[in-house]
Homo-oligomer: A and B are copies of this chain.
Amino acid sequence: MTSELQGRIRPVEVDRTSPVPLYFQVATRLQELIEKGEIGVGARIENEVDLAERLGVSRPTTRRAIQYLVERGMLVRKRGVGTQVVHPKVRRPVELSSLYDDLVAGDRAPRTEVLRLEVMPAPDAIANALEVAPGTPVTWIERLRYAGGEPLALMHNAIPIDVLPLTRDDLAAHGLYELLRRNGLTPRIATQVIGARSATPAEAKTLAEKRGASLLTMTRTAWDGGGRALEYGSHVYRASRYSFELNLSAG
């Protein structure tokens, strides 16, 4: 009676021979329908029980699929009411990607200049952030990132050498996170601190900013699924050209 689109997921289609889990197949199907707008924002989807029956899967499986989309901010559930579409796109919890990835995705023609690359023992502050013993050998990198021909960010990173050996050429051509992933290292957890301060004269010159211009600062430590620290980074961005965009979902 309301604005029911009553998402008809029509032709049942789960492939039980596929190695892809059923709940994921269902979630993907739902996500497609929502992204294509076939279930419009505000519309309620079928209740779990009916949906499960029609798709020929159990209720827990259906539930898990829906839960998956709820966690991504597409759906909202209310006990006694139903499940509603609240946003037609996935709102990612917050990207765990590198600046390079973002720029490529945004078509902003990134270019990287490697200013420094050397192996050195980790100073206390960095060892602390990486949760390794002081003096542990790390690769120390300083890079200048350009976008659209203009300098955008000055980036400092430390990567334990037993995590990944790095070369200048690799870093000039690819983002750090891309290199990590290529070597089977997936950042899964990170802590970031975002702040701001005025540029030092040297920074201002490097970044083509005026003296004392505002810079965005970001320090981050990233761990893989096994709890091993992969990377510590301390970066400064030109505030006039860059900002962080976050999508949060709580609950």
A215 CA to B244 CA, complexed, in Å? 14
Q: Check if A245 is an interface residue, CB within 8 A of chain B.
A: yes
Enumerate chain B residues within 8 angstroms of A91, measured Cβ to Cβ.
189, 191
Q: Check if A188 is an interface residue, CB within 8 A of chain B.
A: yes
8 A-B pairs with CB atoms under 8 Å apart are: A76-B226, A93-B94, A93-B250, A96-B248, A192-B247, A192-B248, A193-B244, A194-B244
A197 CA to B216 CA, complexed, in Å? 9
Q: Check if A196 is an interface residue, CB within 8 A of chain B.
A: yes
Interface residues of A in 32-81 (CB under 8 A from B): 41-42, 73, 76, 78
Tally of this chain's copies: 2
Question: In the complex, are the beta carbons of B196 and A196 less than 8 A apart?
Answer: yes
Given known A42-B227, A86-B227, A225-B86, contact A94–B194 (CB-CB < 8 A): no
Interface string of A192-210 (1 = CB under 8 A from B): 1111111000000000000
Enumerate chain B residues within 8 angstroms of A197, measured Cβ to Cβ.
214, 239-240
A86 CA to B192 CA, complexed, in Å? 18
**Residue of B96, B214, B215, B248 touching A250 (CB-CB under 8 A):** B96
Enumerate chain B residues within 8 angstroms of A189, measured Cβ to Cβ.
73, 86-87, 91, 247-250
Nearest-neighbor residue (CB-CB) of A96 within chain B: B250
Question: In the complex, are the beta carbons of A94 and B198 less than 8 A apart?
Answer: no
Q: Check if A162 is an interface residue, CB within 8 A of chain B.
A: no
Q: Check if A115 is an interface residue, CB within 8 A of chain B.
A: no
A105 to chain B, nearest CB (A): 15
Q: Check if A186 is an interface residue, CB within 8 A of chain B.
A: yes
Interface string of A214-251 (1 = CB under 8 A from B): 11110000010111000000000001101111111111
Enumerate chain B residues within 8 angstroms of A215, measured Cβ to Cβ.
196, 214
Q: Check if A148 is an interface residue, CB within 8 A of chain B.
A: no
Question: In the complex, are the beta carbons of A93 and B249 less than 8 A apart?
Answer: yes
Question: In the complex, are the beta carbons of A250 and B191 less than 8 A apart?
Answer: no
A78 to chain B, nearest CB (A): 7
Question: In the complex, are the beta carbons of B194 and A214 less than 8 A apart?
Answer: no
Interface string of A177-196 (1 = CB under 8 A from B): 00000000011111111111
